[in-house]
Structure 1
Amino acid sequence: MREDLDRLMEERGIDWLFIEGGNGDNPAMHYLLGNAPIGYCSLWKPRGGRAYLFTGPFEREEAKRLPFIAVDTTKYNYHELLEKEPDHLKRAVEFIRRMMADVGVKGRVSLYGRGGLGANYLLYRALDAAVSEAHIEPEFENDMIITARETKDAEEIDHIRRVGEKSCEVYAQVRKLLGSAAERGGKLFGPDGPLTVGVVKRFITLELFKRGLMEDVGTIFAPGDEGGYPHSHGTDSRQLTVGEPIVYDMFPRELGHGYYFDMTRTWCVGEVHPEAERDYELVKEVQADVEGSIRVGERAYAYHKRAADLIAKAGHPTIISDPASQVGFCHGLGHGVGLDIHEKPRLGGTEKNPDLIQPGGVFTNEPGVYYPQKGYGVRVEDTLCITPDGKMQNLTPEPKALLIPLG
């Protein structure tokens, strides 16, 4: 949680954290700024102290509304630098050096945020050489902000819960769309012609937008054999058919680069696919078993193994029995959800995975089995949370029936 940042800085020997890149599509910055409408900015926070938020003059009033020390970067006279220094890299280094000197940055500095890899590499290597009282030493794995974000406070959980409620509303509208289709020769038709994957996806996008949600890389709506590949998004031109299983995985977030939600259902329209029905009942049972067994303080990997063991017992290959398997249960059980769609904790990997189920954790429970050569895959996914007081809640109030009747 955010309240853990100073403790984590102390434990990791970090004197200052520096977040760069503005508040758009930048989870590290959004974590501290929330939905504040601020574009390009940078934030410096000393261990145990109040953070400084550096913005240009256009956003100085927005910055003053936040619980930080607002600094207008006009005072560092970038126009003078433009006149005196023709080299862009040297100008950028000097501009940041002036910020650091102004607020007294010393000791170890760790970096967070977004930007171009090549440009950032050159910039911070040059900056490290240019300052004598501070040294740039980022973290490589499980950095401090990612670690803090692994557990959410009540306000963050409420954000995710609201996205989940709106997501379930969209699922209900898609069910109505599919159930109202006309069937001719085994093919499905809508009021404007063939009911294709692309038609449904455009409907989903509009329904999300109506509710203040957005997609990042689209939605998975994968019928038949395409659903047998866990992250196949489906071919837009493909027309839906009666009885063909559809894997519908939606992972929207709040407009304005906010919190995500993740859920999946598998549907057959008009009639069920016998093999898919058998396997869907299995994954529903496995999902319910895992959900009922979750306990605070246990290792996240244990639930992945529990799911894999149950699926293997039913005769399917799993990623544990064969890490190279591309059929059966061939992915991890779940992942954390927050300002990124995939966060800690990781419910997968190997026994070396150290992640724990903790109060404030928000994560998915998504067993599935996949057989593209048989023309189907099935998955069911809910997002769960452990409230800060240690109670588990399912944030996904969406029915799990496989069949959508026609008419």
Structure 2
Amino acid sequence: MDFIIAGFADKNATLYRRLGVPLGDPAAFVQLGDQAFGIVRDLEMDRVRQNRPGLQVSCPADHAGPDGLPADRESATAAAVANMVRDRGVRHVSADRTLPLIFAHHLTAAGVTVDYDPDLGVNDRRSKTDQEIEYLSQAQATTESVMRMVCETIADATVDAEGQLLLDGTVLTSERVRSLAAVEFLKLQYTMPHGAIVATAPQVADCHHSGTGPLRTGTPIVVDLFPRCEATRYWGDCTRTVVHGDIDPVVKEMHAAVLEAKSACIAKLLPGVTADQAHHASEAVLLQKGYPSSRGTITDEPSIQHGTGHGIGLDVHEPILLDAGGGEMLAGEVFTVEPGLYGRRCGGIRVEDMVVVTPEGPRNLNELNEGLDWRSV
């Protein structure tokens, strides 16, 4: 199959996987028959060759044509790709979901038909290699180390007369905890491109609210950290819930239900089983215990607001989803498993692990405590 993947490799994980370098300039990977080509900025050609031996690497100027190329880099790269494809007599290529319109435009103008292939750049990334699983395992271990620090910091905080948590004599806020995590990750050469979640009631009733303001004793605090390793480009993703001080019996029941739901989903992570089945195994536990599904609606009492998980790799969220309609899972696929319950009144509970699908059974990459009490002493 003849196909093209193009854009910016520092943002497009599918293109990065083909070129091996997170380029900040426009670039393209073109497969024509059994030949693979990389078109990158001239300054980057040697780096790409070193990372992808066998790839035929050139720069836009090598495909200028008699009329030259546009002045800006993105237009020039798109025009160069179109010229190269046309000059090789190819009149039809497929493209993945990430292809920028500018590349489609120049290909079409050159008489090349571009068809969308929904599986291109998706299916080949779903099953991870042993090396990729090792990268994800390393990222998750690092994520857990910072998660432990964050949860213990919250649990060991002192309390003022109003029930607000204090660290070094000043109020501990969601924003301050996220900053502590970001600094710790930077020391480990990880970044947080999408931020982090440190959220408590009532904001946590919106399950993706990042959290703002003071943290308080006696109320569950959901901490969701999802950093990227800058060396490997693979992501960690882990959620734990911490309660400072006394734990309300209602919160304990919620927590126990979420852990049981997580275990039910993980047990289904086997090749050939559908992601739909894994999700519904988790959801069934929560429904049976009386927690309603209220997706799209924020509730006062605890409810189910999202699916059970997602694929992860070079992007923090990758197909497929552990959700209704999810297809058959593949050996080597890696998922986060993160059931949760959320309400304005008593707060939220989410616990998230990263799990590899294997023929021998699911392999959980997490080793961290799942409990609510994170006191270090």
**Does the alignment reach a TM-score above 0.5?**
yes
Q: SS at 1:144's partner residue?
A: coil
Q: SS at 2:68's partner residue?
A: helix
| Counterpart-to-counterpart distance in 2, 1:294 and 1:42 | 35
Amino acid at match of 2:362: M
| Counterpart-to-counterpart distance in 2, 1:35 and 1:90 | 21
The offset of 1:125, in angstroms, is 3.5
The residue aligned with 2:127 is 151
The residue aligned with 1:348 is 323
| Counterpart-to-counterpart distance in 2, 1:90 and 1:297 | 44
Amino acid at match of 1:59: E
| Counterpart-to-counterpart distance in 2, 1:95 and 1:109 | 15
For residue 136 of structure 1, the aligned residue among 91, 108, 114 is 114
| Counterpart-to-counterpart distance in 2, 1:283 and 1:302 | 17
Does residue 54 of structure 1 match 2:31? no
The residue aligned with 2:95 is 111
The residue aligned with 1:381 is 352
The residue aligned with 2:220 is 245
Deviations 1:86-130 (A, max 9, x none): 99999776533322245x251431224757xxxx43652453142
The answer for unaligned runs of 5 or more in structure 2 is: none
Amino acid at match of 2:115: E
The offset of 1:375, in angstroms, is 3.4
Is the contact made by 1:181 and 1:406 (CA closer than 8 Å) also made in structure 2?
Answer: no
The residue aligned with 1:17 is 3
Q: SS at 2:183's partner residue?
A: helix
**1:267/1:37 CA distance change after superposition, 3 Å:** same
The offset of 1:246, in angstroms, is 0.3
The residue aligned with 1:288 is 263
For residue 127 of structure 1, the aligned residue among 107, 119, 130 is 107
Does residue 307 of structure 1 match 2:282? yes
Does residue 402 of structure 1 match 2:365? no
Q: SS at 2:140's partner residue?
A: helix
Amino acid at match of 2:68: L
The residue aligned with 2:13 is 27
Deviations 1:356-398 (A, max 9, x none): 12201111211111111x13011111110124x5542101111
Amino acid at match of 2:247: V
For residue 163 of structure 1, the aligned residue among 128, 139, 148 is 139
Does residue 199 of structure 1 match 2:176? yes
> 121-130 or 17-26: which moved more?
121-130
**1:307/1:77 CA distance change after superposition, 3 Å:** closer
Does residue 42 of structure 1 match 2:18? no
| Counterpart-to-counterpart distance in 1, 2:71 and 2:10 | 29
CA RMSD of aligned residues (A): 2.7
The offset of 1:216, in angstroms, is 2.1
Q: SS at 1:248's partner residue?
A: strand
| Counterpart-to-counterpart distance in 2, 1:93 and 1:56 | 12
**1:45/1:192 CA distance change after superposition, 3 Å:** farther
The offset of 1:71, in angstroms, is 1.5
**1:254/1:406 CA distance change after superposition, 3 Å:** closer
Deviations 1:239-273 (A, max 9, x none): 11111110111112222682222221111012213
| Counterpart-to-counterpart distance in 2, 1:344 and 1:52 | 26
| Counterpart-to-counterpart distance in 2, 1:234 and 1:206 | 18
Amino acid at match of 1:50: Q
Amino acid at match of 2:280: K
| Counterpart-to-counterpart distance in 2, 1:89 and 1:168 | 39
| Counterpart-to-counterpart distance in 1, 2:71 and 2:179 | 48
Higher RCO, 1 or 2 (CA under 8 Å, sep at least 6)? Answer: 1
Q: TM-score, normalised by structure 1?
A: 0.83
Deviations 1:135-181 (A, max 9, x none): 21123xx3311122121111111111110000001011113322332
Deviations 1:193-236 (A, max 9, x none): 1111111110010111112211122101001211222101101x
Is the contact made by 1:18 and 1:44 (CA closer than 8 Å) also made in structure 2?
Answer: yes
| Counterpart-to-counterpart distance in 2, 1:89 and 1:361 | 34
**1:233/1:147 CA distance change after superposition, 3 Å:** same
**1:269/1:86 CA distance change after superposition, 3 Å:** closer
1:26-105 to 2 correspondences below 5 Å:
26-35=12-21, 39-47=25-33, 49-65=34-50, 66-67=52-53, 68-77=55-64, 81=68, 94-102=79-87, 104=88
The residue aligned with 1:5 is none
| Counterpart-to-counterpart distance in 2, 1:62 and 1:377 | 47
The offset of 1:80, in angstroms, is 6.1
Does residue 222 of structure 1 match 2:222? no
> 52-61 or 197-206: which moved more?
52-61
| Counterpart-to-counterpart distance in 1, 2:149 and 2:371 | 15
Is the contact made by 2:152 and 2:376 (CA closer than 8 Å) also made in structure 1?
Answer: no
The answer for unaligned runs of 5 or more in structure 1 is: 1-14
The residue aligned with 2:329 is 357
| Counterpart-to-counterpart distance in 2, 1:93 and 1:292 | 47
Is the contact made by 2:155 and 2:242 (CA closer than 8 Å) also made in structure 1?
Answer: no
The offset of 1:38, in angstroms, is 6.9
Amino acid at match of 2:374: I
Query: How many pairs does the alignment contain?
Result: 371
